[in-house]
Amino acid sequence: MKLNNNPEYPHSEFPVRLEHMEGKEGMDKKVCFFQSREHLQKYLNNAKLKEHQYQTYYRDNDLQTSIGSMSAATGRRN
């Protein structure tokens, strides 16, 4: 999946952004927004997504400390 180097956050109440591919052939990009890491984790568990299947981004650097290895400069999950 192509990395988003400058993710947008159109919803001020949702600082966590998730991008993943879906659809019958995995060709449709889906973008989701979450209020917290806990909501993100619940979605990931329900969707049964593996770490290599998605990218997470954080508007605020303090949100990115507990899920995987993340880049502090961009808020992008590595």
What pLDDT, in 10s, does the model give residues 22-40? 887 888 999 999 999 999 9
* CA pair distance 60, 63, nearest whole angstrom: 6
pLDDT greater at residue 54 or residue 27: 54
Confidence grade of residue 48 (pLDDT, cut at 50, 70, 90) = very high
Strands annotated E in the chain: 16-22, 28-34, 54-58
- 57 strand-pairing partners: 17, 76
Average per-residue pLDDT for the chain: 78
pTM of the complete model beyond 0.95: no
Class of residue 47 by CB neighbours under 10 A (exposed 0-12, middle 13-18, buried 19+) = middle
CB 57 within 8 A of CB 8: no
